[in-house]
């Protein structure tokens, strides 16, 4: 299983600043932030599944455009997987004919461009090739999950947007083949109170959270706000515990 980082920034502003999107092999997106806009039409057409962590714009911005661009080039509906709460937001506020067409009903309700699938935390979605995607606990300002991507041989965990969440670490400690964890730290330590208010992490909060992770795995930090990357990276590099995270980079690839 191959995971390519299409976007891992907390904002935009240049070729390496793309908001959250991960490409799993060539047919699955994890979130559909602005990073997915760099894919070709052929690559977009090949995507059969999109797993959404939560409904904030930086994680869904390109989903409407993907459907508009390649819906008529596909032989079957694109499936969007999310919790019931997140799907309700997408249906009420995005695919509502006011902001964007409801692609779950066009070109016809019987053969739409878009299909919604409700996921449940802790219950795996089985994909072709023995791949499994499982929603993980997360705590954010809106209903949110992370995802565990399991090839059968190894797993990569992605937190999505979250603040302190003991349930996340409990879930990850139960994964025997865990190899990597991608976890957010959106703000520097000087903005710790803002991180707490907006239910994100900063390096000092993340260092405390990692004390709950038992496995010696690779840790990568995502979602740094534009202009704060170097500052956050320096604070991450100063960690003194057993876990020594590194900053996640645009276009980084993981093989599982």
Instruction: Please answer whether residues 203 and 236 qualify as being in contact, where contact means their C-beta atoms are separated by less than 8 angstroms.
Output: yes
In 54-177 the beta strands, taken as DSSP E runs, fall at 78-82, 114-118, 124-126, 132-137, 145-150, 155-158
Mean pLDDT of the chain: 97
* pLDDT digit string, tens, across residues 93-139: 999 999 999 999 999 999 999 999 999 999 999 999 999 999 999 99
Q: What percent of the chain has a predicted confidence (pLDDT) above 90?
A: 98
What local confidence, expressed as pLDDT, does residue 241 receive?
85
Rounded to the nearest 10 degrees, the angle between the axes of helix 229-237 and helix 203-210 is 40
The total number of residues shown for the chain amounts to 256
* pLDDT digit string, tens, across residues 72-87: 999 999 999 999 999 9
Q: Which two tokens stand for residue 143?
A: 């209903």
Under the banding of pLDDT at 50, 70 and 90, the label for residue 14 is confident
d(CA 21, CA 51): 10
Res 210 pLDDT > 90: yes
């Amino acid at each position: 299983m191959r995971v390519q980082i299409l976007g891992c920034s907390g904002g935009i502003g240049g070729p390496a600043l793309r908001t959250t999107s991960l490409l799993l092999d060539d047919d699955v997106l994890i979130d559909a932030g602005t990073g997915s806009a760099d894919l070709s039409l052929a690559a977009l057409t090949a995507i059969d599944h999109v797993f959404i962590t939560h409904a904030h714009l930086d994680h869904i911005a390109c989903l409407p455009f993907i459907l508009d661009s390649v819906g008529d080039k596909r032989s079957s509906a694109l499936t969007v997987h999310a919790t019931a709460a997140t799907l309700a937001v997408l249906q009420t506020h995005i695919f509502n004919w006011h902001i964007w067409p409801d692609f779950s009903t066009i070109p016809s309700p019987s053969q739409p461009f878009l299909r919604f699938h409700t996921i449940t935390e802790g219950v795996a979605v089985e994909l072709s090739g023995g791949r499994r995607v499982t929603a993980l606990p997360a705590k954010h300002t809106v209903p949110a999950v992370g995802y565990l991507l399991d090839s059968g041989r190894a797993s990569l965990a992605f937190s999505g947007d979250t603040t302190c969440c003991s349930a996340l670490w409990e879930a990850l400690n139960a994964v025997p083949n865990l190899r990597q964890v991608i976890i957010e730290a959106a703000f520097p330590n000087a903005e710790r109170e803002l991180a707490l208010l907006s239910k994100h992490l900063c390096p000092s909060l993340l260092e405390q959270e990692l004390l709950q992770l038992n496995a010696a795995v690779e840790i990568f930090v995502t979602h740094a706000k534009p202009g704060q990357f170097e500052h956050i990276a320096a604070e991450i590099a100063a960690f003194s515990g057993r876990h020594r995270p590194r900053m996640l980079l645009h276009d980084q690839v993981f093989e599982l």
